[in-house]
Structure 1
Amino acid sequence: MPDLFSLAPEGLGWLIAAAFLGGLVRGFSGFGTAMVFLPVAAPILGPFGAILALTIMDLFGPLPNLRQAWGSVEKSDLWRLLTGCALALPVGLWMLTRVEPEVFRYAVSFVSLGMVAVLLLGLRYRGTVRRGMVAGIGAAAGLLGGVAGIPGPVVILFYMSRPLPVAVIRATILLFLVFFDILIVGYMTGMGRVTASGAALGLVLAVPNVLGNVLGGYLFQPEQERLYRAAAYVLIALAALSGLPVWG
């Protein structure tokens, strides 16, 4: 796992850019940091190094928008999501220890591209939402978050299919991802995967990530939802394509 002091300037530059763009997307859409950052970071830092840097910086990035999100979130749904996530996340992390770094890199890119494709095609769940289903969505997100570092797609697809105001959807996704970061740091610490150098890199990247979140939150206007989603899809797709083997 490369540390902050052994990174080439070019590699650090790419990480800073990805952290800022990930924060920008997160600020105006409520999601997208991992899908922008991980395809860029995984080839540079490896699976656990990329997830650790992402998690540390992501704990700070959304702070400017948390107060507003807490006032809009459906709190009962949030706790159900987190309960399911907490149970499944360690299974996903165990699976990650059993795959090669290249598999992780490409999986992140394909999951991100698949997410964009599903959203663009307008595929949505139209059935009745029950309490157990919400916990199951959280468990699926925890499993995917552990094995690929991307917990968001399952929750995002689920919530974008529900007839809720965009501010509620954005707040629920944003807060779920914040609590996911806390959970995964705890589990990775128990696995001995948290290092001082990795945490230091995450703290450095938190600066551009917070700036991106602030700018994205400032730009967010509910009436321009389509524009924000389109911009998020483009940035996620470009980052995902950068992690594919065709680019080396």
Structure 2
Amino acid sequence: MTEHLLSLGSTDLLVLFGAALLAGCTRGFTGFGTAMVYLPLAGMVLDPVSAITTLIMMDILGPVPMLPKVLPHAHRADLTRLLVGTALAAPLGLAALFVMNPDLFRVLVSSVSLLMLAGLLLGWRYSGALGPRAVFGTGLVAGFLGGAVGMPGPPVIFVYMASPHPAQVIRANTTLFLLGYDILLVAFLALASRLDPAIALTGLLLTVPNMLGNLAGSALFVPDREKLYRSAAYALIFGVALAGLPIWT
């Protein structure tokens, strides 16, 4: 496992840049999927903490241009409950991450990706009442998953799929939640003295291929062929999740 940008070989750098590009394309097609595509591949060449650090640094700038559009539509009470739950549980997830074996990390990341994919294909939905406690509990689960495997999105996505909120509110809350998660995790890593400046810089550099992928995915997306693009994105997520398992290397 490598820990410093300058110590990465050319093949490892190509894996990271390719992962960032593919993750951006997937998000451009589907609106989500960055972590599901990036982390299984990044876990092949980076230790678990570095993989998640590069992800949040790569992803933290992406939503900034969208903030003026989504802020007016945010359901602030729900967003607050999600982020408070995440802030409470993320340190527990990070504590698990700090002692996690790299192979176990890769298994968990691929498993969460495959479980999320199965849920999307099978149409899983949260069927309970979406009250304050349910939203807060979702934040707790998302925070732990975000700290341990860098994937806070699945619980929030599945709960909001059954939400009575309008689509623009769901989009706003999901976007702002993920940005808030990134900021919280950067703060927690810094407080734990685990925010490596070189790794953080690597993540910022990966913003370039990730944004290019986002632009390409958005430009190529044709609404009339949404099912085709989603199928391609799902196939990519499935292939990457399998490739990320430590049984191959």
Report the TM-score when normalising by structure 2. 0.90
2:214 matches 1:213:
yes
- Aligned-partner Cα distance in 2 for 1:24–1:222: 15
Cα distance between partner residues in 2 of 1:170 and 1:17:
27
Alignment CA distance shift 1:73-1:213 (3 Å)? farther
Q: Conserved in 1, the CA contact under 8 Å of 2:27 and 2:214?
A: yes
Distance 1:228 1:79, change over 3 A: farther
Shift in Å at residue 35 of structure 1?
1.0
User: Aligned equivalents of 2:22 and 2:167: distance in 1?
Assistant: 21
What is the rounded CA distance, in whole Å, between the counterparts of 1:98 and 1:27 in structure 2? 34
Partner of 1:131: 132
When residues 28 and 147 of structure 1 are mapped into structure 2, their CA distance, relative to the original with a 3 A threshold, is same
CA deviation string 1:153-206 (max 9, x = no partner): 111111122244444333322221111000000000111111121011111101
> Displacement of 1:69 after TM fit?
3.0
Say whether the 8 Å CA contact 1:24–1:213 is kept in structure 2: yes
What percentage of residue pairs aligned between the two structures are identical? 49
Aligned length, in residue pairs: 248
The CA deviation at 1:8 is 1.2
- In structure 2, the CA distance between the partners of 1:83 and 1:27, relative to structure 1 (3 Å rule), is farther
Q: Residues 76-95 of structure 1, C-alpha deviation per residue, up to 9 Å, x if partnerless?
A: 22121111101110011011
Matched, 1:35 2:22: no
Q: Which amino acid aligns with 1:203?
A: L
Decide whether aligned partners of structure 1 residues 239 and 66 sit closer, same or farther in structure 2, where only a CA change above 3 A counts: farther
Distance 1:27 1:82, change over 3 A: farther
Structure 2, gaps ≥5 residues long: none
Cα 1:205/1:150, change in 2 over 3 Å: same
CA drift of 1:115 comes to: 0.6
Q: Distance in 2 between matches of 1:146 and 1:241?
A: 22
Secondary structure of residue in 2 paired with 1:245: coil
Residue by residue over 1:132-155, the C-alpha shift from the partner in whole angstroms, topping out at 9 and shown as x without a partner, is 110110110000111111111111
Distance 1:141 1:17, change over 3 A: same
CA contact (8 A) 2:106 2:246 kept: no
| Mean CA deviation greater in 206-215 or 145-154 | 206-215
Maintained 8 Å contact 2:28/2:216: yes
Partner of 1:183: 184
Do the aligned partners of 2:36 and 2:113 also contact (CA within 8 Å) in 1?
A: yes
CA-to-aligned-CA distance 1:51-109 (integer Å, 9 cap, x gap): 11111111122333333333443332212111110111001101112321110111100
Compute the displacement of 1:14 (Å).
1.4
Residue equivalent to 1:155: 156
Residues 199/71 of structure 1: CA separation in 2 closer, same or farther (3 Å cut): same
Matched, 1:48 2:75: no
Task: Give the match for residue 204 of structure 2.
Answer: 203
Distance 1:225 1:124, change over 3 A: farther
Contact (CA 8 Å) 2:103, 2:246: kept in 1 or not? no
- 1:92 corresponding residue in structure 2: 93
CA–CA distance in structure 1, aligned partners of residues 164 and 122 of structure 2:
18
Q: Give the structure 2 partner of residue 111 of structure 1.
A: 112
Aligned-partner Cα distance in 2 for 1:131–1:220? 36
**Alpha-carbon offset, residue 210 of structure 1:** 1.9
CA distance in 2, matches of 1:167, 1:9: 42
Distance 1:62 1:17, change over 3 A: farther
